[in-house]
Amino acid sequence: MSTRPEIEADAQSFIERIFEHLNVAEDVRQRLACAKFSAQVSIPVRMDDGTLEVFQGWRVQYDDTRGPTKGGVRLHPKVSAAEVTDLSFWMTIKCAVVDLPFGGAKGGICVDPKRLSRLELERLSRGYIRAIHDLIGPDRDIPAPDVNSNATVMGWMADEYAQIERRQVPAVITGKPIGLGGSAGRVAATGRGALQVLQLWASREDKSPQQLRIAVQGFGNAGYHFARLAHQAGYRIVALSDSKGAIYDKAGLDPQPIWEHKNQTRELKDMVYCDESVCEQSKAERISHEELLELDVDVLVLAALEDAIDDDNAERIKAKVILEIANGPVTRKADQLLADAGVVILPDVLVNAGGVIVSHLEWVQNRTGDYWSEETVEQRLDERIGKAAEACFARAEAEQVSLRTAAYLQGVERIADAMSNQGTRTYFNARSD
Strands 141-145, 103-110: pairing is: unpaired
Q: Which residues contact 164 (CB under 8 A, 6 or more apart)?
A: 129, 130, 133
Quote the radius of gyration of the chain (alpha carbons, Å): 21
Q: In Å, how far are 191, 195, 213, 396 from 406, measured between CA atoms?
A: 22, 19, 26, 5
Dist. CA 239–CA 98, nearest whole Å? 30
Distances in whole angstroms, Cα of residue 106 to Cα of each of 75, 99, 109: 11, 18, 11
Please choose, from the candidates 277, 245, 275, the residue with its C-alpha nearest in 3D space to the C-alpha of residue 258.
277
The 3-class SS string of 189-202 reads: HHHHHHHHHHHHHH
For 340, phi then psi, to 5°, come to -65, -30
Buried/exposed 56-68: b ≥16 CB within 10 Å, e otherwise: ebbbbbbbbbbbb
Distance of CA 294 to the CA centre of its chain: 24
Could you tell me the end-to-end alpha-carbon distance of the chain, in angstroms, rounded to an integer?
A: 46
Question: Which position among 36, 70, 94, 106 bears the catalytic label?
Answer: 106
244/253 Cα distance (integer angstroms) = 18
Question: How many whole angstroms from its chain centre is CA 375?
Answer: 22
Segment holding 81, helix H or strand E: helix 81-97
Q: Is 106 a catalytic residue?
A: yes
Nearest CA among 9, 71, 13, 6 for reference residue 405 = 13
Give the 3-state secondary structure of residue 329: coil
Consecutive H or E run containing 107:
strand 103-110
192 CB-near residues (< 8 Å, 6+ apart) = 185, 225, 226, 229, 354, 378, 381, 382
- Report phi then psi at 214, rounded to 5: -125, 135
Interhelix angle 374-399/354-368, rounded to 10 degrees, is 140
Cite the active site residues: 106
